[in-house]
Structure 1
Amino acid sequence: MSLLTPWFLAGLGLLSVPIIIHLTHRQRSTVTAFPSLMFLRKLPFKTMNRRRIRHPLLFALRCAALALLAIAFARPFFDAMGDVEGEAARDVVLLVDVSASLAYGDRWDAALDSARAVLDGLREGDRVAVASFDEQARERLPLSLDPAAARSALEELSPVDLGTRIEAGLQLAGRILSESDRRTREVVLISDFQRTGWEDGGRVRLPDGVSLRTASVAGEEAANVAVAEAAIRAAGGERVRLVARLANMGDEPVETLPVSLEIAGRTVATLPLDMPPRGAGTVVFEDIALPEGRSRGRLTVPGDGLSIDDVFRFVAAPEAGLRTLILENNRGNEERSLFLERAFGIGDSPRIDASRVSATRIDDDVLAAAGFAVLNDGDLTDAGRSGRLRDWVSEGGGLLIVLGSNTSMDRWSDAGQGLLGGTPGQLVDAGGGRRLSWLDYDHPVFELFSAPRSGDFSGARFHRFWELEPAPGTNVLARFDSGEPALLEHTIGEGRVLVWTSTLDRYWNDLALQPVFLPFVHRLALHATGYREPERWIEAGGVLELAGLVGAAVGGSEWVLVDPGGDRRPLEVGEEPTWIEFPETGFYEVAARDDADRAVTVAVNASITESDLVPVATERVIEAVAGATPAGPAGDGGGTEDGTGDGETDPRRAELWWLLLLAAALVLGVESVLANRWARRRPASALTNA
């Protein structure tokens, strides 16, 4: 028999209470006053007799009740199958964390030592399975009676470059043991218990009857500096500016940390950086000249306990920018496009190169050089120009139509009317001004402004705008406070058309004077063209589609993948899309065997979450997964804790606390009945003695 809470046995000290009561209690008798003695002098008279227990049965009952209560709160239990089966064979799943953070310091050696200690503690007849987990879980050895096979599977493990997901490992361990019919089943979880790997861990539970033991290899303090990101921004001409972001994951400040930039194998510059504890820092490398094409770039810092995040790899290539045409009205008013042109000229992510063209000069050559066009207060009465613009949009171009005073939609050609995506109405003179009262903040154009203090459109006043009734398939993205549409969107073929029913200058509204104007115009351009910043790097474990990666048809060629170690693997190309997984950090190369010019470099880095080494308390894991408070050290690996998988009780044991409480209640009931009865039958001498 064992006790869950043995400290409650200290309550047995309360047995002294009945002894004290019985040895010090005096029988108090009723005092009767006699008038004939009232004038006599009262002399004190004392006698001392040896105390004795007058009612030994009541004394025994009271002591027994207190003893039963103390033992009941100590939670005694014994195995349902008796002590003979206490050494029954077990099924054990050895679950080992192999994520990137286990490479920090000597954590991996400590994890192996803990795993070997578990194997050393196996008894004859015990079965053991070996499983590992990072972002996914894998069974390395099914339940086996062969400890040597388990040791061999354990020695084949090593830390990988992927993140941590403790939940995935526990789910696999639960599935393995759910197929076992043995009475004793347990999971031994060996990990550094990264907090970032347990953010969604409360959703998994082990099967009933499965216990959980944990062995943490996390140290008390872990200093680590990680290179988190590299961003390339245009700096004018062919020059770029590279912004490096770093994170200090330790509790001590970092001073004058040298950060080096390497392009195409050559160190370009090294700059110092200071960072506060648990803080971040930014280093800006100005006026960098990039080689033509795609070059390999690296940001490095001096090595520390975790080397995987001391190097950040990226693909450096000059950004082409977004070619934009501002199609002006036929009257050539230069001021109408001034705010648009200057707004496009500000910003470097991406760079937007805007040029003005008269709307009468719309032809295939002009449109072919652009990815985005703004028809700014122009008209499309000419069917030929309207048709060419529509064809350009259908092939993937992005168009923004800005309606103004020179827009004569009633005279537009049918092709021009089709570009509107709605039925034109009247010009609205709003007098005192309308305001934007509704914006679709879930849409990519306005998503940027959805957070608090990220931009307010309600400050702009609109004095004039055009009515436009949306056609089926046209979405309204913004409305005035009177209900009329302000911004509409629809698609034509592969392209997208946005329609703004007022001007983008100071004539009909003052939006151009608001702080939101610049980011709003940029979001319109990026969304209309479907622009995405080039993939300069991906996280380890990511996947890319071959055709999207090489930007061309993949049929008719044999493709190979060269990993960071130089090993070559052929890629199977069929009718279905070919997906490529990148599990290691480093530079990969995807190339066609018959055309060396079609080779593409992919930079892969570890997830920044692996750099945060702060652990979660193992008690939280046990309580969430097994549903019980840990019972204390288990003695297998130093710092090992234990819990069961069935809430407060384990179906394999029988607990006696409720029987003891019932017995204590019965004893107290009997004691009360006897005490009341004997109190009414006091000896007759009590009156005389008084």
Structure 2
Amino acid sequence: MIWLFPLYLLGAAAVLGPILMHLRRRPPQDRVEFSSLMFLDAQTPMPVSKRRLEHWLLLLLRCLVLLLLAFMFARPLWRGEAATALGQNQATILLLDRSASMRRGDLWAQAVAQTLKALPTAPADRVAVAVWDDQLTPLWTLTEDAQSAGSRAALIRQRLQATQPGWAGTDLGLALTQAASWFSRETGLTGLTKSIVLITDFQEGSQLEALRSRVWPENIRVKIQQVSLPRAADNFSLTLAAVNAAAAARAEAEAPASTAPSTGPVATAATQRVRLGSARDSQVADYTLAWENGGGAPLSGYLPAGASRVLPVPPAGEGARVLRLNGDAWDFDNRVFIAPPQPRPVQLLFIGEETTRDQAASPLFYLSRALQKTATLLPELSVRPPSATDLPAGTDIVFIASPTLAPPLLAALRSFLQTGGLVVQVVEEATPAATLTTLADLPADSVQVAPGRPTADYLMLAEVDASQPLLRPYADERLRDFTKLRFWKHRLLTLTGPAQVQVPVIARFDNGAPALLTTAVGQGRLLWLTSGWHPADSQLALSTKFVPLLYGWLEAAGFRHEQAASLQVGDVLPSLPGIAILTPEGQTLKPTPETPLRAESVGLYTLQTQPPQFLAVNLPPEESRITPLDPAKLRELGLPLTTAEDPATAPVKAEEKERLATQEEESRQRVWLWLLAAMLATLGAETWLAGRKRTPQPTTT
């Protein structure tokens, strides 16, 4: 046992006070009046040398209180011989950076050599080795080291030789916080000086967010061993920029109405762009951008140090998937993978007459020309007459522009809705109410069809519920102006009974009449239009609102028109039931919803569907920022940092290590707390006993 503050033991001499007080015999304080003392014998006073202690138990309790108080302030600590010997030893966690930036030159070989050199040789020392990028992966744990300390060097060397740098980003904050938590979970580290050694290129693109929400332990030191290369700053970077998919929508919203239908929501095709960047201290400036497997002429240019530039992707030839940037010293971040266009087929069915496809006054004329192939969707429109008996297999959306339908076709449409299909029906004056109630699964006579109220001029849309999925495109303010959209004719739908609740109106004309109504039928949805889009009914097909409305219906049916986002290394790969994924290295993966898979390398991943789908996985953009990080940023986050280049932060001395280890063990034992509890208990007993002694005892006459 040792004492952290032994001078407080001098306070134990205060026990002499109670002893002297007990030896001092006071004369009686109470005077009792007595009639006469002539019949009493005089008693000789007792000499001081013959006085004896009384109330032994009370005296012991008072002395014990003072001793416990002195011991508590002296802070005792029990340490065995093994723990005392460990005071000069260390527990170290070596963190080896395996992010994509470590693929440059011989950085990885340098890091492995420094890791092996930093391994302790003393058997009493403890060491763990881990590699990290955006995750922390242990290679050698503290538990293994306690069991196999004699063979640690050979086993760690073997495991390091089987490890190579990956393609993920650098999450330095996550690696440090998880490594620090290892110390708190491990047992048998009492008295060891704890430290974490970072072996890394210490790049500026490292993420530190995990450190901002944590207070760093004072007893864990952090040391940086930075690896570097000559010409390390001579680097260009190539990353994907945002897809300019909004340009077409903006242009279409601002364009005036014309007599020709639009060819799709991306009349100006979505433009893929790339961002070129140069390191701040780079000595190279000339670059060349070209496709690896064919394409147009290479694009050359000049990019000064510290600058960035956004360029459109050069025209690609057949099979061109990899865009490469040349001109710098390091090529780990000089490739961008772009998946080929993979439009999803959408099977559309128009119920009407095929002969009207080329008639400018028919609904089919405008519908067939508005739904064009885009980079992500491939609409395929087929036509069935109203006398048909069934629907084509694989139909996704049905448009009805005929007032009468054959009973078998009506039954097929009802089954199509029940299984999750989308049906858009233009209500005509001759449309039987029974057809509407049958499709909507409503009671008979709950829907009435009548000609619209005659107007002197035209109608306009006044109330549009843009929160409805079928009208989601109109949530954009640029598409919410309906002042140029006019309706010449409409039909009036009167709903009674349950139909008033089950069929909400999502758009109205300025006279209050319903314009669009929708209802859920089984798993599908039915949409009624009381006015058609062809010129006989309205100007909808000739306006800029028609094509966004059509693609809003496709989006509501599950066919969203958007450019497929490029994944980054570390993102979760999509998981489709029974669909395997082929990695760029040729490995076949079978993800499940319970065990999602992460993209671990750059390249094109292939979903083995029919037809195959491709996923482009690229390097995280932050990994290209290879300029060394300023250590002051880590110190600002509270890390006790030491670096080989910073002599102001010298290693902790042996005495300091011993002191820190002792304080940690004492805070773990907290013997002073038990002494305080014992002192309070003893003080309570002494108070009770002293009060009992002072209480006068009744005497018997």
Same-fold status (TM-score > 0.5) = yes
**2:291 matches 1:260:** yes
Quickly say closer, same or farther: Cα 1:529–1:152, change in 2 above 3 A.
closer
**2:603 and 2:228 mapped to 1: Cα distance?**
27
2:561 is the counterpart of 1:549: no
1:335 paired residue among 347, 361, 365: 361
| Residue of 385, 391, 395 corresponding to 2:415 | 391
Match of 1:170 in 2: 176
Is contact 1:189-1:214 (8 Å) kept? yes
The answer to whether the 8 Å contact 2:168/2:600 transfers is: yes
Q: Which residue of 1 aligns with 2:617?
A: 605
Aligned partners of 1:140 and 1:153 also within 8 Å? yes
Q: Distance in 1 between matches of 2:333 and 2:393?
A: 43
2:439 is aligned with 1:416: yes
1:248 is aligned to 2:272: no
Asked if the contact 1:382–1:413 (Cα under 8 Å) also holds between the matched residues in 2, the reply is: no
Question: Does structure 2 conserve the Cα–Cα contact (< 8 Å) formed by 1:165 and 1:197?
Answer: yes
Given that 2:569 and 2:618 are in contact with CA atoms closer than 8 Å, whether structure 1 keeps it comes out as yes
Q: What is the identity, as a one-letter code, of the residue corresponding to 1:528?
A: A
Task: Map 1:36-51; keep pairs closer than 5 Å.
Answer: none
Structure 2 residue 210 is matched with structure 1 residue 186: no
Task: Pick one of 601, 614, 617 that aligns with 1:584.
Answer: 601
Quick one: distance in 1 between partners of 2:474 and 2:215? 40
Partner of 1:307: 331
In structure 1, the partner of 2:41 is none
Give the whole-Å Cα distance in 2 for the aligned partners of 1:257 and 1:299: 11
Deviations 1:241-289 (A, max 9, x none): 9976432122589766241252xxxx35444255863222222427x5x
Of all paired residues, the percent bearing the same amino acid is 16
Q: Aligned to 1:368, which of 389, 393, 396?
A: 393
Q: Aligned pair in 2 of structure 1 residues 397, 271: CA closer, same or farther (>3 Å)?
A: farther
The 10-residue stretch of structure 1 (325-334 or 168-177) with the greater mean CA deviation from structure 2: 325-334
Question: Which residue pairs with 2:313 in the alignment?
Answer: 283
TM-score (norm 1): 0.59
Q: Does 1:138 align with 2:145?
A: no
Give secondary structure in 1 for the equivalent of 2:392. Answer: helix
Task: Show structure 1 runs of 5+ residues with no match.
Answer: 1-79, 551-560, 592-596, 645-649, 655-690
Q: Tell me, in whole angstroms, the C-alpha distance in 1 between the residues paired with 2:100 and 2:442.
A: 53
Q: 1:188 to 1:345 in 2, by over 3 A?
A: same
The one of 367, 372, 382 equivalent to 1:345 is 372
Match of 1:226 in 2: 238
CA distance in 2, matches of 1:308, 1:154: 21
Q: Name the counterpart of 2:93.
A: 93
Q: CA deviation at 1:131?
A: 1.6
Aligned equivalents of 1:590 and 1:330: distance in 2?
A: 37
Judge conservation of contact 2:566–2:615 (CA < 8 Å) in 1: yes
Choose from 205, 212, 220 the match for 1:210.
Answer: 220
**Superposition TM-score, scaled by structure 2 size:** 0.58
Measure the CA separation in 2 of the matches of 1:489 and 1:152.
66
Partners of 1:585 and 1:605 within 8 A in 2: yes
CA distance in 1, matches of 2:650, 2:478: 49
Deviation at residue 173 of structure 1 after TM alignment: 1.0
Shift, 1:133, TM fit: 2.0
Checking the alignment, whether the CA contact within 8 Å between 2:460 and 2:482 is kept in structure 1 is no
Alpha-carbon displacement from aligned partner over 1:191-220 (angstroms, at most 9, x marks no partner): 435547446663455557434444566898
> CA 1:169/1:503 → structure 2, altered by over 3 Å: closer, same or farther?
farther
Contact 1:195/1:613 (<8 A) preserved: yes
> Which secondary structure does the structure 2 equivalent of 1:386 belong to?
helix
Structure 2 spans left out of the alignment, 5+ residues: 1-76, 79-83, 246-262, 653-658, 664-701
1:389 to partner: Cα distance:
2.0
* Residue-by-residue CA offset, 1:216-248 (whole Å, 9 max, x unaligned): 6689846323263899x9x99xxxx99764321
Residues 248 and 330 of structure 1: is their aligned pair in 2 closer, same or farther, counting only changes over 3 Å? closer
Deviation of 1:437 after TM superposition, in Å, equals 4.9
Q: Distance in 2 between matches of 1:622 and 1:380?
A: 78
Residue of structure 2 in register with 1:53 after alignment = none
**CA separation in 2, counterparts of 1:275 and 1:436?**
54
CA contact (8 A) 1:546 1:578 kept: no
Judge conservation of contact 1:92–1:185 (CA < 8 Å) in 2. yes
Q: Which structure: larger Rg?
A: 2
Deviation, 1:322, is: 2.9
Distance 1:151 1:269, change over 3 A: same
Instruction: Measure how far apart 1:514 and its partner are.
Output: 5.0
Match of 2:547 in 1: 518
Q: Using the TM superposition, give the Cα deviation of residue 100 of structure 1 relative to its aligned residue in structure 2, in angstroms.
A: 1.7
Distance apart, 1:399 and its partner CA: 3.0
The CA distance in 1 between the partners of 2:620 and 2:214, in whole Å, is 25
**Does 418-427 or 455-464 show the bigger shift?**
418-427
Larger displacement relative to structure 2 (130-139 or 453-462): 453-462
Shift of 1:471: 8.0
Task: Write out per-residue CA displacement over residues 549-599 of structure 1, whole angstroms, 9 at most, x where no aligned residue.
Answer: 36xxxxxxxxxx876556x679699xx9886665334566788xxxxx999
Is contact 2:485–2:543 with CA below 8 Å preserved after alignment? no
Taking only aligned residues, the RMSD between alpha carbons, in angstroms, comes to 5.5
1:562–1:612 distance in 2 versus 1, CA, 3 Å: closer
The range that moved more, 177-186 or 461-470, is 461-470
Per-residue Cα deviation, 1:296-351 (whole angstroms, up to 9, x for no partner)? 84444437455344444566577574343333489968525244333213744323
The aligned runs of 1:607-686 (5 Å cut-off) are 607-609=619-621, 611-613=623-625, 618-624=631-637, 628=638, 634-636=642-644
| Cα deviation 1:530-567 (Å, max 9, x = unaligned) | 468898985545434464536xxxxxxxxxx876556x
- Describe the shift of the 1:124–1:369 C-alpha distance in structure 2 as closer, same or farther (beyond 3 A): closer
Letter in 2 for 1:280: V
1:107 and 1:218 in contact (8 A); partners too = yes
Alignment partner of 2:326: what SS?
coil
CA pair 513-92 structure 1, distance change in 2 beyond 3 A:
farther
Q: Is 1:435 equivalent to 2:462 in the alignment?
A: yes
Question: Is 1:159–2:165 an aligned residue pair?
Answer: yes
SS of 2:308 mapped into structure 1: coil
Name the stretch that deviates more: 502-511 or 172-181.
502-511
Aligned twin of 2:349: 325
- Compared CA separation, residues 410 and 606, structure 1 to 2 (3 A): same
- TM-aligned CA deviation for residue 142 of structure 1: 0.9
Q: Could you say if the C-alpha distance between residues 127 and 314 of structure 1 is closer, same or farther in structure 2, counting changes exceeding 3 Å? A: same
Contact 2:97 2:133 in 1 (8 A): yes
- Secondary structure class of the residue paired with 2:128: strand
Distance 1:415 1:107, change over 3 A: farther
Give the secondary structure class of the aligned counterpart of 2:179: helix
